[in-house]
């Protein structure tokens, strides 16, 4: 029988050529249940006493084959209805505490209880849906919580100009008991599509993006503006000839900035763009940008630092092909393949199986032709498994440890563990098999453990 050193070398040398391909498989798209029957448009998380759960809204009526009517909640295994739901379409989701406890809010063009006129904004308190206010005369596209100095309130933005017959052009504030207009934005064909809170160094303010609105006393049409609690002001140099669909704050390592996504964003001093960065006093260009409309921006940390994700109808970022979504980490773009249709929304969430990036849209396939009915998740390993004892560099806990992948690093760590387990007790770190490579500890780390590890190469289940 060959010596253990020669035998281990015989295993490790060919393994080194496998490591990169194994590591490349660490992250993958996965279906989320049986999905929904048509477009998914919005996501958030909500805790109604059983932990944070992913909530998804859209135009769909069924999830996992069951009737849910416009909204559904993922419990880690199945999609579930949220009350009786409602007809119409859900464009935006958020949570807000109006003083009676945190509740889930949905905005869009929605009908509660079969009503003839949509309420546009609805509240779920854990047991019942209720309309907030009465009649908006247009669709609600965005919901955002903001404190203008008088306490947190829920803000709604959309294509409406009145609420219950009273003027409330495009943006309105709900204080827990009544809606009130915010400033006096105008424009006969305007709409607001996005809201975000951002601090440019002078204090938090509410930013609103959309198309074709006017600000009293300031010449021209606008696509983005800042509300400080007292007045609306446009951003320097403005945005022309476009629609802003999404706003999101993100720190790429140079300080927090406001990222603006839409269709052909154009500033006066540079050519048209799809994604722009506002630092608080200037627009900054990204080295490469998406080639087509960005409908949604979100951030997610897969374990190697927070990344900004842009979802929409993009097919390229710079010269790199991508499929409707891409991630920017401040230095480089991460691209994706496989989606066969638009991704409308994305959201980072851990359903108990590990953090993942969830995506919703019109697609029916994603990744390597994986069937996924309008919703999928991109996960990079879901925790440790047999054979996953170290990181890519062979570092064991506490400095390193399991990384959701059985790879070359685990073999390196195993080399330093060869010998009997403390006290001869089976199951110590590295003791995963018997002398013949059959899974199950035998009280020592030996050649059999290396044989077993070969059959486990790849991401953990």
Model confidence at 274: pLDDT above 70: yes
Average pLDDT over residues 140-168: 94
Identify the pLDDT of residue 20. 35
DSSP one-letter code for 134: S
Identify the pLDDT of residue 241. 63
Identify the pLDDT of residue 140. 95
pLDDT digits (tens, 9 = 90+) for 358-397: 999 999 999 878 899 999 999 875 455 778 888 888 887 7
pLDDT digits (tens, 9 = 90+) for 293-319: 999 999 998 777 899 999 999 999 989
Q: How far is CA 447 from the centre of its chain?
A: 43
Q: Percent of the chain scored above 70 by pLDDT?
A: 86
Report residue 323 as tokens: 């499929």
Dihedral sign for Cα atoms in the order 229, 230, 231, 236 = negative
Where does the pLDDT of residue 440 fall: very low under 50, low under 70, confident under 90, or very high at 90 and above? confident
Q: How far apart are CA 149 and CA 205, in angstroms?
A: 10
Q: How far apart are CA 149 and CA 142, in angstroms?
A: 21
Chain-wide mean pLDDT for the chain? 85
Model confidence at 14: pLDDT above 70: no
Residue with tokens 């309008």, as numbered in its chain: 374
pLDDT digits (tens, 9 = 90+) for 27-77: 788 899 999 999 999 999 999 988 899 999 999 999 999 999 999 999 998
Report residue 285 as tokens: 């260009």
Residue with tokens 């927070």, as numbered in its chain: 306
pLDDT digits (tens, 9 = 90+) for 223-263: 889 999 999 988 876 666 678 999 999 999 999 999 999 98
Helices (H), 325-432: 408-415
Identify the pLDDT of residue 258. 96
Task: Pick the most confident of 57-66, 269-278, 297-306, 433-442.
Answer: 57-66
Model confidence at 119: pLDDT above 70: yes
Residue 248: closest CA among 271, 274, 275: 275
Crossing angle for the helix pair 4-24 and 447-454, to the nearest 10 degrees:
20
Q: CA dist 244 to 283, 343, 359, 418, Å? A: 15, 17, 20, 59
Average pLDDT over residues 287-295: 91
Average pLDDT over residues 5-18: 48
205 vs 221 pLDDT, higher one: 205
Identify the pLDDT of residue 194. 97
**DSSP calls for 15-67:** HHHHHHHHHHTSEEEEE-TT-BSS-EEEEEEEESSS-EEEEEEES-SEETTEE
Model confidence at 25: pLDDT above 50: no
Q: CA dist 31 to 3, 34, 123, 360, 374, Å? A: 46, 7, 29, 11, 9
Where does the pLDDT of residue 16 fall: very low under 50, low under 70, confident under 90, or very high at 90 and above? very low
Residue 75, judged by CB atoms within 10 A of its CB (0-12, 13-18, 19+), counts as middle
DSSP one-letter code for 433: B
Structural domain spans, the chain: 4-25+385-459, 28-380
Q: How far apart are CA 210 and CA 201, in angstroms?
A: 24
Which CATH superfamily includes the segment(s) 28-380?
YVTN repeat-like/Quinoprotein amine dehydrogenase (2.130.10.10)
Q: How far apart are CA 418 and CA 410, in angstroms?
A: 13
Residue 190 exposure: Cα atoms within 13 Å on the Cβ side? 25
Query: pTM of the full predicted structure?
Result: 0.78
**E-strand spans in 168-315?**
171-174, 179-181, 191-199, 204-215, 218-227, 232-234, 243-251, 256-265, 273-278, 283-284, 294-301, 306-312
Crossing angle for the helix pair 408-415 and 4-24, to the nearest 10 degrees:
150
Model confidence at 270: pLDDT above 70: no
Taking the alpha carbons at both ends of the chain, their separation in whole angstroms is: 34
Identify the pLDDT of residue 338. 78
Lowest mean pLDDT among 115-129, 148-162, 197-211, 431-445: 115-129
Identify the pLDDT of residue 461. 66
How many residues are recorded in the chain? Answer: 461
């Amino acid at each position: 029988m060959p010596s253990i050193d020669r035998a281990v070398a015989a295993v490790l040398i060919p393994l080194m050529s496998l490591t990169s391909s194994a590591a490349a498989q660490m992250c993958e798209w996965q279906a989320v249940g049986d999905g929904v029957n048509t477009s998914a448009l919005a996501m958030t998380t909500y805790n109604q006493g059983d932990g944070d759960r992913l909530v998804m809204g859209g135009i769909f009526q069924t999830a996992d084959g069951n009737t849910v009517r416009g909204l559904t909640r993922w419990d880690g295994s199945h999609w579930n209805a949220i009350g009786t739901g409602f007809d119409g379409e859900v464009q935006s989701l958020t949570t807000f505490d109006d003083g009676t406890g945190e509740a889930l809010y949905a905005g869009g063009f929605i009908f509660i209880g079969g009503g003839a006129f949509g309420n546009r904004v609805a509240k779920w308190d854990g047991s019942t849906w209720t309309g907030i206010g009465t009649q908006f005369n247009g669709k609600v596209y965005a919901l955002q919580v903001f404190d203008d100095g008088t306490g947190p309130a829920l803000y709604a933005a959309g294509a409406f100009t009145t609420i219950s017959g009273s003027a409330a052009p495009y943006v309105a504030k709900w204080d827990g008991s009544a809606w009130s207009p915010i400033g006096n934005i105008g424009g006969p064909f305007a709409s607001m599509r996005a809201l975000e809170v951002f601090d440019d160094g002078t204090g938090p303010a509410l930013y609103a993006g959309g198309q074709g609105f006017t600000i009293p006393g300031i010449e021209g049409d606008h696509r983005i503006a800042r509300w400080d609690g007292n007045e609306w002001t446009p951003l320097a140099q403005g945005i022309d000839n476009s629609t802003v669909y999404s706003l999101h704050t993100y720190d790429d390592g140079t300080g927090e900035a406001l990222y603006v996504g839409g269709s052909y964003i154009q500033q006066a001093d540079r050519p048209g763009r799809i994604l722009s960065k506002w630092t608080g006093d200037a627009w900054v260009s990204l080295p490469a940008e998406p080639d087509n409309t960005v409908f949604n921006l979100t951030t997610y940390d897969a374990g190697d630092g927070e990344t900004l994700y842009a979802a929409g109808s993009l097919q390229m970022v710079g010269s790199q092909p991508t499929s409707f979504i891409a991630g920017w980490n401040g230095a480089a773009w991460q691209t994706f393949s496989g989606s066969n249709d638009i991704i409308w929304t994305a959201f980072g969430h851990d359903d108990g199986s590990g953090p993942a990036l969830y995506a919703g849209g019109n697609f029916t396939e994603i990744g390597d032709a994986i069937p996924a009915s309008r919703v999928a998740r991109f996960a990079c390993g879901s925790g440790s498994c047999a054979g996953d004892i170290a990181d890519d560099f062979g570092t064991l806990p506490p400095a390193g440890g399991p990384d959701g992948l059985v790879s070359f690093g685990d073999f390196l760590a195993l080399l330093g563990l060869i010998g009997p387990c403390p006290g001869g007790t089976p199951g110590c770190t590295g003791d995963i098999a018997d002398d013949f490579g059959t899974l199950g500890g035998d009280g020592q780390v030996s050649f059999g453990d290396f044989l077993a590890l070969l059959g486990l190469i790849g991401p953990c289940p």
